Homo-oligomer: A and B are copies of this chain.
């Protein structure tokens, strides 16, 4: 029997977003609670509580999207960014707690799967999504399947080099010139502060651009150009039909980023990939992650049934 519904849980730095999701991607019921900042034990307890709040007989699986590489073979969350969760055997833990199939994925993968199953990417077999927020996350669907790389750790598309020896990356990353250092909301905030003073940020930059400020537009378009170099690279590697821009900053600044990003990406891309490529704005907003996580849950059930 196919599970009618799955619970999707999107673990974010400030909120846990959870929902009961149907096979058509619609959200039947949702629930939200704050993400604890103090301990792993507390995070696990709140994740459990979010699931328990929504669980009923219609639910056949649970999926989690977490801001971390995933060790798929062991079902382990390697190390979260901004959430105290490290080397956590989340899959077994939740399986035992709820006696239900459990799937895990990186949060950016989950968002890409959400847009693929229920958003702007429906019916597209090859798509790539970039979530521009604090960092730059990436998710890939290739040949009608989520692409997860070795051990399912996921494609860290925000950490490709677009400027050899360029700007240092954020946080624990020792890299230089990564896409994330040029095209994230944080990068836009840094650019905004340089021009508009220490109280400016990426949101203000977009607001100023909306009000017609030429300098703000120029800064966003510069970000779009760097984004285009990254997109061009990904198009040459994966050949997606659709590149989805999402994340808080990506959606807010889409109208300014899109033109220069597309122009540069088309210059960098080879045929036949260049002609096949289209850009689009994410449609599901903050729900993409939980919807995608629910489909990671469905995927677990379907894989078990087909073997």
Q: A residues engaging B (CB < 8 A)?
A: 69, 71, 78-79, 125-126, 142-143, 149-151, 153, 155-157, 159-166, 173-178, 182, 225-226, 229-230, 232-233, 236-241, 267-273, 276
User: Are B276 and A160 touching (Cβ within 8 A)?
Assistant: no
Kindly provide the distance from the CB of A183 to the nearest chain B CB, expressed in whole angstroms: 10
Query: What number of copies of this chain does the assembly contain?
Result: 2
Complex: how many Å from CA A271 to CA B267? 32
CB <8 Å contact, B272 and A78: yes
Question: What are the residues of chain B within 8 A of A273 when measuring CB–CB?
Answer: 150, 153, 156
Q: Check if B270 sits within 8 Å of A164, measured CB to CB.
A: no
With A69-B272, A176-B267 known to touch, is A161 a contact of B229 (CB < 8 Å)? yes
Cα-based distance from A70 to B276 in the complex (angstroms): 15
The answer on a CB contact under 8 Å between A160 and B160 is yes
A155 touching B237 in the complex, CB below 8 Å, given contacts A176-B267, A268-B176: yes
Q: Which residues of B contact A151 (CB under 8 A)?
A: 239, 272
Contact in complex: A161, B239 (CB < 8 Å): no
